[in-house]
Structure 1
Amino acid sequence: MKSIAVALALVGATAGASLAHAADISQTTAAALTGNTAHFGRDLTAYSVGDLFTDRFTFTSGNLSNFVGGVISVSPGAGPLKNIDITGLSLYNAAGLVLGGSNHGNGAADVWTINSMGPLSAGSYYLQVSGTVLSANDASYAGHLTLAPVPEPATYGMMLGGLGVLGFLARRRKQQADSQA
């Protein structure tokens, strides 16, 4: 009976020790837009195996925009040599989830992308990167986001009008050339 009690105490202590090392190391940072693009990332040094992060990179879109973003982490190898595991990439606004990302590789390189199928309205957003630290070695990830302003309807109208004028001039020149021949 004593040996069972000692074994249970040892298992409990081991589980408690591993739980004590897992911590939430999340942070929120402003993504500095230069033009309509921002590069972001994070170095994860001196953290413990099992630490979790849900990092947020905030930005503001001043007008109607299409959105494209991505994140990548590279480790020396898969399995026990992998230093970091990116588990999610999502875009949020004040109302909640706007877009979920797509995973294109989970191994030596974790690759996630996200893009809008339609324009995002002007407002405040944050791109969320989630993951887990898998090794006590240094790890990092890097990403980008790009906002592409959507042209206003008047811009399309001017473009179509310009193409119409070019077509009219080309037809007129052809008619003049045919009449002189």
Structure 2
Amino acid sequence: MNKLAMATAAAFALAWAPAAQATVYHVGDPNFQITNGTPFTPSITALFFASFGATGAFDDTFEFTIPQNGFGSGSISTSFSNGSTNKLVITDLIINGVSYALIDEPNGQSRSVGGIPIFAFGLNTIQVKGNVTGSGLYTGTATFTAVPEPAQWAMMVGGFAVLGAAVRRRSVRVAFS
């Protein structure tokens, strides 16, 4: 086969190759569920995942907004049988614009991250990009812990001061005669 024919065949293969499937999920979608707490509680845990039954590229984005400041952490993993024709590989994990590399293991990939700042009412995203051969699944968890606002800290410290003053005033004096 000459070079022109090979180049033409390659161009047709690329033109007909399926583009990455882009999917956006929000809290409440079947693939993005809060499993503990609510958006208003100081601690929230969510589960996110996607499964695929066909070969191709994927580009999933999980979007959420929380009405309080805090920090996020979480983990993501894939698994497959060593030597299996079914394989899912995550090429990019991007959380709020920051990219994280996954750790390759013999039977999958994984990554845990923490200390991700979450801002009240800001759009937060977890983007997972990759390729699947045959079929595959990835799963992840996300945890959010609220950080008290300065006014809440002031009220808490003030409350401890009032409590300390009340305990000190209640001291009982015993008189011996």
Residue 144 (structure 1) aligned with residue 148 (structure 2):
no
CA distance in 2 between counterparts of 1:13 and 1:119 reads 49
Return 5+ residue gaps in structure 2 as ranges: 39-43
Query: Number of residue pairs matched?
Result: 162
Change (3 A) 1:71 1:31: farther
Structure number with the higher helix fraction is 1
2:104 corresponds in structure 1 to 106
1:11 corresponds in structure 2 to 6
Q: Which of the numbers 26, 29, 37 marks the counterpart of 2:25?
A: 29
Letter in 1 for 2:62: F
Larger CA deviation: 123-132 vs 154-163:
154-163
Letter in 1 for 2:94: S
Change (3 A) 1:117 1:126: closer
Letter in 2 for 1:25: Q
> How many Å apart are 1:149 and its aligned residue?
1.4
2:48 corresponds in structure 1 to 40
CA distance in 2 between counterparts of 1:101 and 1:109 reads 16
CA distance in 2 between counterparts of 1:102 and 1:164 reads 47
2:153 corresponds in structure 1 to 156
Letter in 1 for 2:109: D
Scaled by the length of structure 2, what TM-score is found? 0.69
Scaled by the length of structure 1, what TM-score is found? 0.68
> How many Å apart are 1:143 and its aligned residue?
1.0
CA distance in 1 between counterparts of 2:169 and 2:86 reads 67
CA distance in 2 between counterparts of 1:14 and 1:142 reads 37
> How many Å apart are 1:31 and its aligned residue?
3.1
Change (3 A) 1:118 1:39: closer
Change (3 A) 1:117 1:170: farther
2:65/2:122 contact within 8 Å kept:
yes
CA distance in 2 between counterparts of 1:160 and 1:168 reads 12
Q: Secondary structure at the match of 2:60?
A: strand
Structure number with the higher strand fraction is 2
CA distance in 1 between counterparts of 2:27 and 2:112 reads 17
2:41 corresponds in structure 1 to none
2:124 corresponds in structure 1 to 125
Residue 64 (structure 1) aligned with residue 98 (structure 2):
no
Return 5+ residue gaps in structure 1 as ranges: 1-5
Letter in 1 for 2:93: L
Letter in 1 for 2:131: T
1:74 corresponds in structure 2 to 79
